[in-house]
């Protein structure tokens, strides 16, 4: 046993507790908090953030880390990985003054409140000054770091360590023409019918059906819960308290099922993290893209597959007999995979989804390098929507205000969604080589072997390996869109008879 390692873990434990306390306060803010509570909550979150930052960046930490790097030089051991990951985070955090962290946390809370109001009223002007403030703070944040090839690199690195903007642009660049071509081919064929998906569904029954699905996936309600919030998300308070939120939209009632599967995918990753990593930076998912590979896998590769609905459709049809009257399995399967350019990212089909991401990435890069002014955002958003997807949102709530992320200053995040799609397909090819009868298992409603495979190969490692390293470790490949293109092409060729 190393005394210095114990000292490090004690500090990290307190930092982790402060972070998780902040997560609980944020969750409460979105799920429970009465309207008037926002201002004080912002102050409370700012204080927790400031204290965590102070503890994490103390000189004591720096000295401990220098000593421990020598004591545990092998990054393949848990101890070595802990020192490596902590030192990297420490060196980053050292650059950011505690007062700035508090200022950003306060702006985030105020931005979130303003966004909720702006979205409710579909009025971007309410949100604009808060977004301007958030972007100003993001630029200030970037200024604390050495100049990179692109200022956006600094932001992206917080979500995907070591992945530069140019590489993401290249990965997207390869994918883009193929995805555009696929959308074009689909648009030229006969469209599928999905009118029955827009009928009126009972909210409670949909909610319950979603919970029955994720229970089968292995989401443990003894260690989590699902609540209503304006935006679906997963949040971790510790490995035994991993919560998800969801929403119900009358005009897309079954979207609730897919959101539940999506957030469950995130939750399974967090719930599967090695308990020995608790209260250290190794706990939880390694990056947002790898996280998203899990959520998108459960939502799409599992949840929008034909074998999945061979199992669940009879129950669904029994639960919603009038809405699904006369709708066969194949017709339902096609409907939930209907390709149709639409306004809302989280409800977008797999064929168009990445276009929403590319739009956001371009706008974020523009906000950060100053080539886009915030006041022009609604117009730019709508113009790009028309360019990429041929549709223009009827209002800001369904356009530039739809996502929660920018409201709390989270910029640099969006591309990880598309990277997650790409990685999920790479993993899926690998899994299907190792679990030969996976389709058959899914057809029987059995998800245990898949979940345990993911746990053993990915989840259990937490933050031990960087995103590209874990992808390489599991698949033997770099992040590459080929598998995703194969997956999309095969799926939609069958559905649309391309």
Residues designated as active site: 263
Among 7, 43, 187, 212, contact with its own copies (rule: CB under 8 A): 43
**Minimal distance, residue 29 CB to its own copies, in Å:** 10
**Minimal distance, residue 461 CB to its own copies, in Å:** 20
Residue among 215 and 240 whose Cβ is closer to its own copies: 240
**Is 117 near its own copies (CB under 8 A)?**
no
Among 67, 103, 278, 362, contact with its own copies (rule: CB under 8 A): 278
Starting at the edge strand found earlier in the chain, the sheet holding 241-246 runs 226-228, 241-246, 234-238
Interface segment toward its own copies; rule CB under 8 A; list 37-45, 138-146, 160-168, 488-496: 37-45
Q: Rounded to whole angstroms, how far apart are CA atoms 112 and 118?
A: 10
Residue among 55 and 304 whose Cβ is closer to its own copies: 55
Interface segment toward its own copies; rule CB under 8 A; list 9-17, 67-75, 181-189, 412-420: 9-17
Residue among 54 and 439 whose Cβ is closer to its own copies: 54
Among 4, 5, 7, 47, contact with its own copies (rule: CB under 8 A): 47
**Is 202 near its own copies (CB under 8 A)?**
no
**Is 14 near its own copies (CB under 8 A)?**
yes
Residue among 85 and 244 whose Cβ is closer to its own copies: 244
Q: Rounded to whole angstroms, how far apart are CA atoms 321 and 326?
A: 9
**Minimal distance, residue 43 CB to its own copies, in Å:** 6
Burial of 3 (0-12, 13-18, 19+ CB in 10 A): exposed
Interface segment toward its own copies; rule CB under 8 A; list 11-19, 90-98, 134-142, 187-195: 11-19
Residue among 228 and 405 whose Cβ is closer to its own copies: 228
**Minimal distance, residue 30 CB to its own copies, in Å:** 13
Chain residues 210-239 in contact with its own copies, contact rule CB under 8 A: 220-225, 227, 237-239
Provide the terminal-to-terminal Cα distance of the chain, rounded to the nearest Å. 62
Interface mask (CB under 8 A) for its own copies, residues 463-492, using x and -? ------------------------------
Q: Rounded to whole angstroms, how far apart are CA atoms 497 and 211?
A: 33
Interface mask (CB under 8 A) for its own copies, residues 236-275, using x and -? -xxxxx-x--------------------------------
Q: What's the chain's length in residues?
A: 498
Interface segment toward its own copies; rule CB under 8 A; list 14-22, 106-114, 443-451, 477-485: 14-22
Residue among 34 and 326 whose Cβ is closer to its own copies: 34
Residue among 107 and 374 whose Cβ is closer to its own copies: 107
Among 41, 121, 304, 345, contact with its own copies (rule: CB under 8 A): 41
The residue count for binding its own copies (CB under 8 A) is: 41
Q: Rounded to whole angstroms, how far apart are CA atoms 310 and 332?
A: 10
**Is 321 near its own copies (CB under 8 A)?**
no
Chain residues 17-36 in contact with its own copies, contact rule CB under 8 A: 17-18, 20-22, 24-25, 28, 32-36
**Cβ pair 431, 438 in contact under 8 A:** yes
Among 8, 12, 30, 48, contact with its own copies (rule: CB under 8 A): 48
- Which residue ranges make up the site for its own copies (CB under 8 A)? 13-14, 17-18, 20-22, 24-25, 28, 32-37, 39-41, 43-44, 46-48, 50-51, 220-225, 227, 237-241, 243, 278-279
């Amino acid at each position: 046993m190393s005394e210095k390692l114990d000292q490090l873990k004690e500090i990290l434990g307190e930092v982790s507790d402060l972070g998780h306390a902040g997560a609980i306060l944020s969750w409460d803010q979105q799920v429970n908090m009465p309207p008037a509570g926002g201002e004080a909550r912002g102050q409370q979150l700012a204080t927790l953030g400031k204290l965590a930052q102070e503890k994490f960046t103390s000189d004591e930490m720096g000295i401990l880390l220098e000593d421990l790097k020598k004591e545990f030089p092998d990054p393949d051991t848990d101890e070595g990985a802990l020192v490596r990951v902590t030192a990297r985070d420490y060196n980053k955090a050292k650059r950011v003054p505690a007062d700035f962290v508090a200022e950003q946390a306060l702006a985030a809370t105020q931005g979130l409140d303003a966004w909720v109001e702006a979205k409710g009223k579909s009025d971007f002007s309410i949100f604009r000054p808060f977004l301007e403030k958030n972007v100003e703070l993001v630029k200030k944040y970037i200024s604390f770091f050495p100049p990179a090839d692109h200022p956006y690199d600094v932001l992206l690195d917080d979500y995907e360590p070591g992945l530069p903007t140019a590489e993401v642009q290249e990965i997207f660049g390869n994918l883009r023409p193929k995805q555009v071509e696929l959308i074009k081919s689909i648009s030229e064929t006969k469209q599928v019918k999905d009118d029955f998906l827009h009928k009126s569904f009972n909210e409670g029954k949909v909610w319950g059906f979603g919970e029955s699905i994720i229970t089968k996936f292995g989401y443990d309600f003894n260690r989590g819960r699902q609540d209503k919030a304006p935006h679906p998300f997963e949040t971790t308070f510790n490995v035994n308290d991993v919560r998800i939120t969801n929403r119900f939209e009358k005009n897309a009632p079954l979207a609730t099922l897919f959101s539940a599967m999506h957030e469950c995918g995130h939750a399974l990753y967090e719930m599967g993290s090695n308990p020995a990593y608790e209260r250290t930076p190794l706990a939880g998912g390694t990056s947002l893209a790898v996280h998203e590979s899990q959520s998108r896998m459960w939502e799409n590769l599992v949840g929008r597959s034909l074998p999945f609905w061979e199992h669940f459709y009879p129950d669904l049809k029994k639960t919603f007999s009038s809405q699904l009257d006369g709708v066969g399995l194949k017709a339902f399967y096609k409907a939930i995979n209907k390709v149709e350019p639409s306004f809302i990212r989280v409800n977008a089909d797999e064929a168009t989804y990445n276009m929403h991401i590319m739009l956001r990435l371009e706008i974020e890069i523009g906000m950060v390098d100053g080539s886009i002014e915030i006041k022009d955002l609604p117009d730019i958003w709508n113009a790009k929507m028309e360019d990429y997807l041929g549709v223009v949102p009827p209002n800001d709530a369904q356009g530039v205000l739809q996502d929660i992320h920018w409201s709390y200053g989270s910029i640099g995040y969006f591309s990880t969604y598309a990277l997650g799609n790409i990685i999920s397909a790479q993993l899926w090819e690998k899994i299907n080589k190792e679990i030969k009868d996976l389709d058959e298992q899914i057809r029987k409603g059995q998800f245990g072997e898949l979940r345990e495979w993911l746990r053993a190969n990915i989840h259990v490692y937490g933050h031990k390996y960087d995103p590209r390293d874990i992808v390489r470790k599991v698949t033997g490949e770099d992040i590459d869109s080929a598998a995703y293109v194969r997956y999309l092409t095969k799926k939609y060729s069958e559905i649309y008879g391309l």
